[in-house]
Structure 1
Amino acid sequence: MRLSDARLFFLSAIAVVTVAAGCAGVPAAPAPVSPPVDPPSSPEWTQDMARFDAEDAAHAPPARPIVFTGSSSVRLWASLGADFPGRPVLNRGFGGSQLRDVVHYADQVAIRYRPRMIVVYAGDNDIDAKRTPQQVHSDFVALIARLRKDLPDTPIAYLSIKPSPLRVAQLPAQREANALIRAEANKWRRVEFIDVTAPMLDASGQPRGELFMADRLHMNAEGYAVWRKVVAPYLK
């Protein structure tokens, strides 16, 4: 075989292999790996899921809503619709819940609505229940992996764990969890970490008491006004 013929044969062989590989398809990127998740923190959440079912049956949720979900700071956001006029927001908060609960009920509180965006607030109750910042971070990873399984392109925003006068002793653990989650969010496409913590602290680094109701844990209208201002620019 002449040199030119040998070169032609070699290039043809490469072309055949390349075409065959293309026909077989390029392997898809591996699905996000979800770390193990502990069982739900309470059996009572099934009642909340039933409530959501009843609400959907009575009043059809908006098409492709911006779903807000998580613990009581979301559930008690009564002014949610008024705070974001013209946005198809849907409140699917269930009070007392932890991040792992949002993972377990992700379909009921978010995925089934095919949302245009998901906003999550959880982690506050986790730290209060003596879960470590590392556990909160692991549950955050599990939540993103779960959502990405069915909603690979949907924007997700996580609201940082808020400081409150009642749980001021937990500030160091909250800061650590927030830092871990912020760093993790930066690794994912279309996942945002929204810092609601900084504007809720006074000049000395303590929670601003005027933002809270008498229980010193849940926010009043002034507190939600702070959240509205911080969150609004992120809504899609």
Structure 2
Amino acid sequence: MKKILSAFLLLTFALFFSQEKKPMYWQDIQEFKKLDQETVPPKDAILLIGSSSFTKWTDVASYFPDKTIINRGFGGSRLIDLNYYADDLLNYQPKQIIIYCGDNDFADNEKLKAKVVVDRFKTFYKKIRTKFPNIEVDYISIKFSPSREKLWPQMKEANKQIAAFMKKQPKSGYIDITKGMEDANGNVRKDLFVEDMLHMTPAGYEIWANAMKPYMK
């Protein structure tokens, strides 16, 4: 009986520690792999990579009925997570990649400087270019969620620096969604956000879609 109990405890501890060692969003990436095994991802699609604003855009294909979309937004991911899982996230054959990520980096560390987030983005961009030197790559500006207003100054600076960086890169674009989400007085429209004042309503996604369409292949 003691041997059985000891074996059970060892197995329990082994399972516990194996789960503890798994990095953040590991399960999300496994779900992507499972989806890709069940249905072969289409070639020459537009690949969306990023955080929860993409994750929650579950009906994104309906906004772009003439496009083939692969949505690989996951959790509340940060640019450091995109870099960590780059090999998995870039394991497709897209004709274009559109990225939305960065605001969670600031939320994770409110003292984070804009340059740190910009450097994280540049690192991910370089990883994309290593594998896909000739496809279109676009970045959607960090949105100014009302619930994160105190982080807006760093976000604005990061947007500015990323816009300047993307302007210098070949086959690259910076998709500015900030103006479209403002009212006539230049204030962020709270009606475009759900109750948490972080994630968006369908009207918010409609604005994003309109901003993205001119850039989409």
TM-score normalised by the chain length of structure 2: 0.86
- Residue type at the aligned position of 1:123: G
Aligned partners of 2:198, 2:121: CA distance in 1, in Å? Answer: 22
Matching residue of 2:58: 78
Are 1:182 and 1:193, in contact at CA under 8 Å, matched by a contact in 2? yes
Hey, what's the Cα distance between the residues in 2 that align with 1:78 and 1:191? 25
Of 137, 149, 158 in structure 2, the residue corresponding to residue 168 of structure 1 is 149
Please name the residue that 1:103 is paired with: 83
Greater Cα shift, 83-92 or 204-213 = 204-213
Question: Could you tell me which of 117, 122, 129 is aligned with 1:136?
Answer: 117
Residue 47, structure 1, aligned to residue 27, structure 2:
yes
In the alignment, does 2:3 pair up with 1:61? no
1-side partners of 2:126 and 2:191: how far apart?
37
Equivalent residue for 2:177? 196
For the pair shown, the structure with the greater C-alpha radius of gyration is: 1
Superposed CA deviations along residues 114-141 of structure 1, whole A, max 9, x for unmatched, are 1100000001101112222111110111
Q: Calculate the TM-score normalised by the size of structure 1.
A: 0.79
Give, in whole Å, the separation in 2 of the partners of 1:114 and 1:107.
13
Aligned equivalents of 2:86, 2:133: Cα separation in 1: 14
Tell me the CA shift for residue 65 of structure 1. Answer: 1.3
CA contact (8 A) 1:67 1:117 kept: yes
1:107 deviates by 2.2
- Tell me the residue number matched to 1:89: 69
Q: What is the DSSP-based 3-state SS (H/G/I as helix, E as strand, rest coil) of the residue aligned with 1:140?
A: helix
Q: Structure 2: any 5+ residue segments left out of the alignment? A: 1-21
Gaps of 5+ in 1: 1-41
Give the Cα–Cα distance (whole angstroms) in 1 for the partners of residues 23 and 91 of structure 2: 21
Deviation at 1:224, TM superposition (A): 0.3
CA contact (8 A) 2:25 2:75 kept: no
Q: Identify the residue that residue 20 of structure 1 maps to in structure 2.
A: none
Q: Distance in 1 between matches of 2:83 and 2:140?
A: 16
Size of the alignment, in residue pairs? 194
> What is the identity percentage for the equivalent residue pairs of Structure 1 and Structure 2?
38
- Matches of 1:101 and 1:43, distance apart in 2: 9
Note if contact 1:168-1:207 (Cα within 8 Å) is conserved in structure 2.
no
